């Protein structure tokens, strides 16, 4: 079968779906155009016909993850709408293994990513923020959610609580020692809500 015939059996959506399935099963490090081709039973050139490069494929996969965020049935109050959009962003990341690592490593100016960004910025503007403050607050919310979720998804591989306990003492780091119980990687839901509330305070 020629590359063209193989390509006709696929479309970009099928390639991205296969990439996300591979992500969920084996993690981000296992995702490549060759691995996706193997999963689909086609030649690597067939996958590249649709997505060109691994970087492009990851961009489209990240966009597909954000496309899973429902943008309907949101609260009417702008501040609560922004908070709910942040929650839905986090849930979309958590729905895929290494979802945060995938999205943080891309810059997908793609339709579904832009639709989410439009909704978040619109909510912040409706809160009365100026143009720059709305833009920068949207970045702050997204970066916070990505960072915390990436930690949450990696926590099984990095025992940060144990590392921290061994690294500090009341003598060497009194302030950190005092609050150490609140620095361990736990209570991600509460930490997320606290952070979003702080970022959107007085909105």
In a domain, residue 71? The reply is no
Are 106 and 165 in a shared domain? yes
CATH number for position 146: 1.10.357.10
CA distance 78 to 101: 29
- Residue-wise pLDDT tens for the chain (203 aa)? 444 444 456 889 999 999 999 999 999 999 999 999 999 999 999 999 999 999 999 999 999 999 999 999 999 999 999 999 999 999 999 999 999 999 998 887 899 999 999 999 999 999 999 999 999 999 999 999 999 999 899 866 555 566 777 888 889 999 988 988 787 767 899 999 999 999 998 66
Are 141 and 177 in a shared domain? yes
Question: What pTM value is reported for the model?
Answer: 0.88
In a domain, residue 88? The reply is yes
Structure letter (DSSP) for residue 52: -
Structure-block tokens of residue 64: 């597909």
CATH number for position 41: 1.10.10
Are 95 and 187 in a shared domain? yes
DSSP string, 134-166: HHHHHHHHHHHHHHHHHHHHHGGG--HHHHHHH
Number of domains in the chain: 2
Are 33 and 114 in a shared domain? no
Please give the pLDDT value at position 161: 63
Find the domain containing 136 and state its range. Answer: 78-199
């Amino acid at each position: 079968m020629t590359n063209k015939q193989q390509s006709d059996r696929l479309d970009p959506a099928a390639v991205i779906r296969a990439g996300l399935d591979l992500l969920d099963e084996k993690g981000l490090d296992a995702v490549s155009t060759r691995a996706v081709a193997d999963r689909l039973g086609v030649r690597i050139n067939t996958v590249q016909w649709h997505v060109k490069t691994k970087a492009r494929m990851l961009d489209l996969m990240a966009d597909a993850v954000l496309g899973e965020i429902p943008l309907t049935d949101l609260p009417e109050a702008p501040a609560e709408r922004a908070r709910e959009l942040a929650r839905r962003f986090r849930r979309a990341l958590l729905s895929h293994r290494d979802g945060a690592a995938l999205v943080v490593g891309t810059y997908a100016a793609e339709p579904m990513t832009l639709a989410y960004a439009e909704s978040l910025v619109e909510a912040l503007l409706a809160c009365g923020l100026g143009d720059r403050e709305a833009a920068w607050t949207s970045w702050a919310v997204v970066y916070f959610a990505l960072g915390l979720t990436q930690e949450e998804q990696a926590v099984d591989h990095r025992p940060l609580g144990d590392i921290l306990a061994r690294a500090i003492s009341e003598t060497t780091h009194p302030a950190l020692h005092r609050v150490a119980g609140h620095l361990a990687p736990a209570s991600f839901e509460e930490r997320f809500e606290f952070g979003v509330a702080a970022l959107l305070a007085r909105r």
